[in-house]
Amino acid sequence: MKLTLPAFTNTGRFWRGNLHTHSTRSDGVLDPAEVCRRYKAEGYDFIALTDHFVGRYGYPIVDTVPFRDAVFTTILGAELHSGATENGELWHILAVGLPADFAPSNSPSFIPVAGQETGPQIAARAVAAGAFVAVAHPQWSGLTVEDARSITAAHAVEIYNHGCAMGCDRPDGFAIADQLLTEGRNLTLIATDDAHFSEPDHFGGWTMVKAETNTPEALLAALKAGAFYSTQGPELRDVRVEDGHLVVECSAASSIVALGWGTGAKAVHGHSLTKGAVPLERLNNSPFVRAAVIDAAGKRAWSNPIWTGAKEKNPRLL
């Protein structure tokens, strides 16, 4: 049996992008033109400028079309806010590929108000409008599993947020993502900057999207299809399940890890590994397996999950 991921089987090439970025149109330090200039200068192929969609800032969906050129593009988007999570704070939902006329929510500021849309409702409305939607920075937000379960329309979970890593040491969403995957949710995993340029919160986590062309339409379709991987630097060149192993081809690494449900995980280690085959017995018949690659500097890359078709219950979870 051989199982593959669209990031490594689809035609096209990889494009480097940041899906979570802020400017002076909300609480960022740099104006939209300078944000785009800096990402382009750093070798990015695209960004989504996702300023905070609240009344304080005029519900911005920033027009970044003027900053596109033959080698750099942008996708319209916003960080949506409406309704309270279980801890009483406002939802943060990343929406990439919003139409410019997406209707504002009743979210005057960063404090929930009575009668506004719930988080699940505004997420579903964004998906219906054509956006790629992700649950933003679960650890930073203090999300519970119940919170995350409620966002049934989401395509993805933000599993690494560089701004949250640098600003408060709460960078990840792996626990939430793995729990939802364990429950059968077909979700993908994105890494982002959440750049505001007020601290070293930029150029630290990105998404490599496989598409034929570097256009908003092609990139958005590839994101929705799961044709991407996320990274802090290491490259993934192939990730597949074959003959009872997770096979990973990558740039030079020191560890290649297979992860599944519960305690299921297994790694192979070495020096300058560019290919590894991790046996899957230790994953306890997990219905999904995802790869993590760690290089000698501690930088990581992550694949989307491969669904194995396993249906037996994990004996460790009985």
How many degrees, rounded to 5, is the angle at CA 54 between CA 228 and CA 172?
40
pLDDT, position 1: 76
pLDDT digits (tens, 9 = 90+) for 118-164: 999 999 999 999 999 999 999 999 999 999 999 999 999 999 999 99
pLDDT, position 309: 86
Mean pLDDT computed over every residue of the chain: 96
Domain boundaries, the chain: 7-231, 236-309
pLDDT digits (tens, 9 = 90+) for 77-111: 999 999 999 999 999 999 999 999 999 999 999 99
Is pLDDT of 19 > 60?
Answer: yes
Of all helices (H) and strands (E), which one includes residue 41?
Answer: helix 32-41
Is pLDDT of 289 > 90?
Answer: yes
Reported as a pLDDT band with limits 50, 70 and 90, residue 314 is low
Is pLDDT of 316 > 60?
Answer: no
pLDDT digits (tens, 9 = 90+) for 186-202: 999 999 999 999 999 99
Q: Residue 132 to residues 21, 77, 88, 137, 254: CA-CA distances in angstroms?
A: 15, 9, 25, 16, 33
Is pLDDT of 286 > 50?
Answer: yes
CATH of domain 236-309: 2.60.40
Q: Which CATH superfamily is domain 7-231 in?
A: Metal-dependent hydrolases (3.20.20.140)
Is pLDDT of 318 > 50?
Answer: no
In 10 A of CB 1, how many CB atoms? Answer: 8
Is pLDDT of 166 > 70?
Answer: yes
3-class DSSP assignment, residue 313: coil
pLDDT, position 311: 65
pLDDT digits (tens, 9 = 90+) for 135-145: 999 999 999 99
**Contact in structure between 151 and 186 (CB atoms under 8 Å):** no
Output DSSP code: residue 195. Answer: B
pLDDT digits (tens, 9 = 90+) for 235-278: 999 999 999 999 999 999 999 999 999 999 999 999 999 999 99
Assigned token pair, 273: 């590994």
Which of 149, 20, 150, 144 minimizes the C-alpha distance to 89? 144
